Amino acid sequence: MRAILDVLLLVLDLYVWVIIASAIFSWLYAFNVVNPRNQVVSMIGQALYSLTEPLLRPIRNVLPAIGGLDLSPIVLLLGVFLAQNVIIRYVYPHVF
């Protein structure tokens, strides 16, 4: 059980970095810092989009954009941090 929870916590940690990378990539794309016609850039953007969009879309449907700012990645990060804390504090078997 402990090994499964360790893997799950590792996956959640990696997903935090994917969310951050997706947000940074979207800023770089919006401000024309990266060339969207470059095949490598396009592949990275598509991968980040396909990894994050299934969880961000429902949040965007509920949470309106505030002044053009998309706050859904922050809400998703808070949800991931909450899930990690619940796993660590209540599910993870502690050795006494």
Nearest to 50 by CA among 75, 70, 21: 21
pTM (global) more than 0.85: yes
β-pair partners for 66: 69
Query: Structural domain boundaries of the chain?
Result: 2-91
Per-residue pLDDT of the chain (96 residues; tens, 9 = 90+): 889 999 999 999 999 999 999 999 999 999 999 998 999 999 999 999 999 999 999 999 999 878 888 899 999 999 999 999 999 999 988 755
Instruction: Give helix then strand counts, H and E, for the chain.
Output: 3, 0
* Long-range own/partner contacts, residues 29-34 (CB < 8 A, 24 or more apart): none
